[in-house]
Structure 1
């Protein structure tokens, strides 16, 4: 599988830094943002395949950040992180277009698998778009 990029968005610095470090060691190019606002600014400048997004954050929470990501970058897949008390937020996020959600604390292998599946979904969408564009281009009279 091609290397892909993940943006880890969480207000907990220790979790964010550790997750980025682990993902990078596993061959996934990871960066981080400490808030929804910072994540949205980063997404405008840097292409990202998957966003790992905490639901509970000060300022713009994960659900509102997800809404913005969906409207600005519809092909970016989002995996939400929720605590036990906010499972409803995970479900709400799925309704808004999140790929899936994981409960904190998260285990490494399920996290890696979820990120890979989210990337695979994005990759397939991009292939479909490219194929449609090629067909359209080939159908045009010269």
Structure 2
């Protein structure tokens, strides 16, 4: 069962590998990028149904990565994650086109619901 392909962009390797495994157990194909630059490069080469993007990363920040993602694939739903973000960051992410903003530690069921909503909304519009 293939529910869609998800691009995971997060520099916390252990976290993102565990998340990928949990998503794959639920029928999603996951590709991991360890930083914003790698995520942008992957997006330029293949298509994804949803991107899950960490806000705080070394190098290209989550917000800067989001800007570039939206330049490449405006319709791609992006769910932003943070363990230490602010309301200001969330508002800026939403202004830039993020689908939603979730706090770490993640509730996998909440994330799955957001992914389903994002894919559904993207297919409508």
Does 2:12 match 1:12?
Answer: yes
Greater share of helix: 1
- Look at both structures and tell me which one has the larger radius of gyration over its CA atoms: 1
Query: In the alignment, which residue of structure 2 is the partner of 1:133?
Result: none
Cα offset for 1:67?
A: 0.3
Greater RCO, 1 or 2 (C-alpha within 8 Å, sep 6+): 2
What 5-or-longer segments of structure 2 have no aligned partner?
A: none
Q: For residues 84 and 7 of structure 2, what CA distance do their matches in structure 1 show?
A: 23
Cα offset for 1:103?
A: 0.6
Q: For residues 2 and 75 of structure 2, what CA distance do their matches in structure 1 show?
A: 17
Q: For residues 35 and 68 of structure 1, what CA distance do their matches in structure 2 show?
A: 13
SS of match in other structure, 1:51: strand
Q: For residues 61 and 107 of structure 2, what CA distance do their matches in structure 1 show?
A: 23
SS of match in other structure, 1:123: helix
Query: In the alignment, which residue of structure 2 is the partner of 1:90?
Result: 90
Q: Which runs of 4+ in 1 moved over 3 A?
A: none
SS of match in other structure, 1:30: strand
TM-score where L is the length of structure 2: 0.94
What 5-or-longer segments of structure 1 have no aligned partner?
A: 126-142
